Chains A and B, each alone.
Chain A
C-alpha cells in the first residue's frame, strides 16, 4: 500500500495507437482514458463494475474500465467507442431507437460488438446473459436486444 500514491510512465495501446502516459499506480483505466487521453466516450456510472457504462474492449473482451488498473492494461489492445471503426452496431442501434439519453450507449455498443465478434452463434439466452452486465435506465432494453439480434441474423 506504500506506493499507492507513486506512479510510473507506462505505454498503453489505445485504439491502435501507442500512448505514453504517466499514471498513479492506483489509477483505474477509466480515469486514465478519460482524464489523460480525453476519451470521454468511456462513461463512469458506478466505479464498481455494476453498470457496464465504462465498458471497453481489452484484446476484444469487454471489461469495465473502472475495474482494471491502468498499469494492468499494459501490453493489451485497448479499444474504446472512439476506436470502433465498424459502424454496423451503432447504425443498428439508431435504426431500432435503442438510444435515448445516450449515456449507457458506448458501453452497450462495445459489449454488443464483442458479442457479435466472439459469439456469432449466440442464441437468445446467450444474448440475455451477455447484455445483463449493462444497465440502461431509459429504454425498455427491447430496442437494444433487437439491434443485437438483427445483426446476428444478418451474419448467419
Chain B
C-alpha cells in the first residue's frame, strides 16, 4: 500500500475509542442505570406455528411489583421496515418459536421475569413450514393469510398475495436461450443452509420513556438510531421531532442491530405505565431466538460456458429462508438478485430471487446482506464448472472476472472507478498462497490431505436512493475540533476513520479531533444507518464537505485578521496562514470563536462547519427485468483457505485463510486488517459450525452459546491479508468501504477446499465433521 502524500489517511493511527475500551469504562446501552427505572421481560412462544387460543395472565399479575402486562391486542397493527407484516407482539397466532407474545413491566427485572414465566398460553397447533422450498409448494399452508393487505413501505419490494412469497426479484438480462446454445459445458449445482445468528456479545437492549410533553426518549443498542426514530414515528404517529434516540457504543452488531424490534416494545411498555422509563434487555436465549437472525438459503445455480471456459449463461434460483416475517429479508433477496452471478462477466442471466416465509425466526441483515449466501452458491458452482472443464479454478475465475466495460446483472455499466480490480486481486492471491496445480491438493506424511479452495466476491451497497449522512464541526477554544456525525461505532472503527478523514482534510493532528461514541438524534445530523459498508463513503464525504465549509469560514475570518483575501490563505497545523509566507498566520484558537482585536472588538463569531452527502442516481429494480442501479460502486475481492483433512475420522482444520480486497484507498491499514481477519473468522465460524438446530416442529434446540457453537481462539487459522487500492473517484480519498467484505467468500472458499480434499460434493452448511462423514459415506442426515 502506498501512502501517497497523505499525512493521516493511509496510516494506522490508533483508534480514538481505545483507551476507554481497554479499561472497561466505555458505556454501552445497558450500562446506564437510572433510579426508578422499570424493567420489562418477554414471554415468548414455545410453538413455531399455532393459533393463540387464550392467554391467562392471572398468575403473572399476582407477582409483586408487576405494573403492566401487554399482549398483541395492545397494538394490533403490523410493523416492518419494507413490508408491514409483523405485529410487535403476536396477534391471534404465532409464526415462529420464540416469537414475543406478552411483555411484563415490573419494578425489578426478577419480578418481571418471574411474572413472564407464569403467563399461560393455550395454543392450537398449525402445520409447520420448515424450509423455503416447502414454503413455495402450492399446497403448503399460508403463514400470512393477509399478505395482500400488508402495506409495502419502500419501492422495489414485491410480495405475492396468497403465497408464502414475501418478495420476488427477477433478473432478466440478455437471452438465456442463446447463452445455452453457445455453451459447450453446463453444470447444475445446488446448495442449502438454514438460519444462524449474529451473536454479538452485547445482547440487544432498548429503553423508552414518554415525557409529559409527549417527547419520546429512547436509548437503544442500534445501528440506526434515525431509522428507529423513523419507524417509531411512522407506526405510532409521533412527529420525528418529538422523538430522541440515543445510541452509545455498541457491543458488536453485524447487521443484527439494524433491525427495529425491542424499541417498539419498550415504547409500548412505557406507554402502558404512564410514560415511565422502562428497560428491556434480551437474555442470550431471547437474542438468539426472539430477535431476528441470519438468513438461510436454498439455491440452484446452472452455468454454461464454452470449451475455453468463457461463461455464456447463468440460470439462478435463490430461495431465501426469511422466516416468519420479512423485515429486511425482502431486501436481502433483492440485493442477492442484483449481484446474483458473483463478480463474473455473463451476458445472459436469468435469476429468480425469493424471500420466503417459513416458521423459522425471522431474518434481518447480516454482515454482507445476501452476499456471503449467494457467494457460497456461485463459488461452489464455479469450482464444479472448473472441474468439468478440467481447468484451474483460479484461471477460470481470471478468465471471467468482471471488469470496466461489462455490465452487472441489473445492467449497470461498469467503469474504472465504480468497480475494483478483481483480476489484480486474483493474481495477488495466486502469489500469496503459492497457488499452482501441484499445491492445490497434497497428501501429508501422516495420511492427511491438504487442499486449497478459492472464492471471488463482490458487493454493492443496495442502499436506498436517499441514503444520506451529515457532519457538523464545532471548535473548542483550544483550537481543537468536535466532529458530530451519526455514524455508529459497532467496533469497526468508523469514528477513527472519519476522524482521520477530517484530520487529513483540515491538515490537523489526530489529537486535536474529538469524536464521541454516543449518537443522539436530537444533536447529531441525520444519517440513514451504519450498515452496508457504506459509512466510510457516505459519512466520509459529509465530513469532507463539513471540513471544506469550516476551512472557508476560517479563511474568511483569517483574511480580516491577516489583512488579505481569503484566497491568499491556507489552513493547516491548527493555523490559518498566508500561502506564500507560511510564517505569517494566526492560530485557529484565535479564530474559532471570533477574532479579537487588541482593543477587544471581535469579528467573525463562531466557526461552525457543516456538510452532508447523499448517494445519487440509484433506482429501484424493474419488477420484470431487474433493470436498475442498486448501489454506487462495487468493492471486490478474493478469499482462499487451506485445509488439512483427516480421511480417517472426517475431521479437518483450517490452516490458512487469506483475503485480498480491493476496497479502494485504505484509510487505516491496521484497522482494515482487523476487519478482514474478523470477517474471515466470522465467515469460517458460520461456514463450519454455526446453525440453529430445529426439531421437526420448528423448535430451536440450541438457543445458547454453549450449544450454538462459535469458533474459539484455539481453532483459528493463520490469517493473510492484502489490499489492492483501485480508487473510487467519488469516495473520500478514493475509499470504497469494507466492513462486510471479510465474511463474504469464506463459505465458498472453505466448501471448495473441503470438496477437493474429500473428493465429494459438499453443498450444505455448516460443514461439520459429521456432515462430511455423511456426504462421503452416503449416511448422515
Contacts and interface: CB of A to CB of B under 8 A. Distances in A.
A101 B705 contact: no
B485 to A, nearest CB: 18
A90 B705 CA distance: 26
A10 B682 CA distance: 43
Contacts of A131: 712-714
Given A102-B491, A132-B713, A137 B199 contact: yes
Given A47-B283, A139-B677, A140-B680, A99 B22 contact: yes
Interface residues of A, number: 49
B250 A46 contact: no
A91 B492 CA distance: 20
A78 to B, nearest CB: 14
Contact of A48 (B14, B20, B31, B704): B704
Contacts of B201: 43, 45, 51, 53, 101, 103-104, 135-137
Contact of B705 (A46, A129, A139, A141): A46
A24 B254 CA distance: 36
B18 A94 contact: yes
Contacts of A51: 201, 284, 705
A129 B715 CA distance: 10
Interface in B1-54: 14-15, 17-28, 30-31, 33
A93, A105, A144: residue with the most chain B Cβ atoms closer than 10 Å: A105
Given A48-B705, A135-B712, A137-B199, A99 B15 contact: yes
A106 interface: yes
B710 interface: yes
Nearest to B676: A140
A11 interface: no
Contact of A142 (B18, B110, B284, B719): B719
A30 B30 CA distance: 13
Interface string B466-508: 0000000000000000000000011111000000000000000
A103 B681 contact: no
A94 B677 contact: no
Main secondary structure of the interface of B (DSSP, over half): loop
Interface residues of B, number: 54
Interface string A33-44: 011001011011
B671 interface: yes
Interface in A1-49: 24, 34-35, 38, 40-41, 43-49
B141 interface: no
B20 to A, nearest CB: 8
Given A131-B714, A139-B677, A102 B284 contact: no
Contact of A94 (B22, B493, B712, B716): B22
A128 B713 contact: yes
Nearest to B20: A102
Contacts of A105: 21-22, 24
Nearest to A101: B491
A67 interface: no
B572 interface: no
A150 interface: no
A103 B15 contact: no
Identify the interface centre among B26, B252, B490, B713: most chain A CB within 10 Å of its CB.
B713
Interface string A79-122: 01110000000110110010111111110010000000000000
Given A90-B23, A101-B201, A101-B491, A48 B713 contact: no
B682 A102 contact: no
Interface in B156-202: 199-202
Nearest to A141: B713
Contacts of B202: 43, 45, 101, 103
Contacts of A137: 199-201, 252, 254, 682, 710
A144 B670 contact: no
Contacts of A46: 284, 704-705
A102 B17 CA distance: 9
B724 to A, nearest CB: 21
Given A99-B15, A101-B250, A140-B716, A41 B21 contact: no
Interface string A118-156: 000000000011011011111111111100000000000
Interface string A46-58: 1111110100000
Nearest to B19: A94
Interface string B375-402: 0000000000000000000000000000
Nearest to A110: B24
A35 B33 contact: yes
Nearest to A99: B21
Contacts of A140: 674, 677-678, 680-681, 716, 719
B777 interface: no
B22 A48 contact: no
A90 B26 CA distance: 14
B540 to A, nearest CB: 19
A103 B713 contact: no
Contact of A43 (B251, B673, B710): B251
B26 A102 contact: yes
Contacts of B491: 100-103, 138
Max count, chain A CB within 10 A of own CB: residue among B17, B18, B681: B18
Interface in B651-696: 670-671, 673-674, 677-678, 680-682
Which 5 A-B residue pairings sit nearest by Cβ, starting from the closest? Answer: A41-B24, A101-B491, A103-B251, A102-B21, A140-B677
Given A80-B24, A102-B20, A109-B24, 5 more contacts: A41-B23, A94-B22, A101-B201, A137-B200, A142-B677
5 contacts: A38-B33, A50-B705, A100-B493, A101-B202, A101-B251
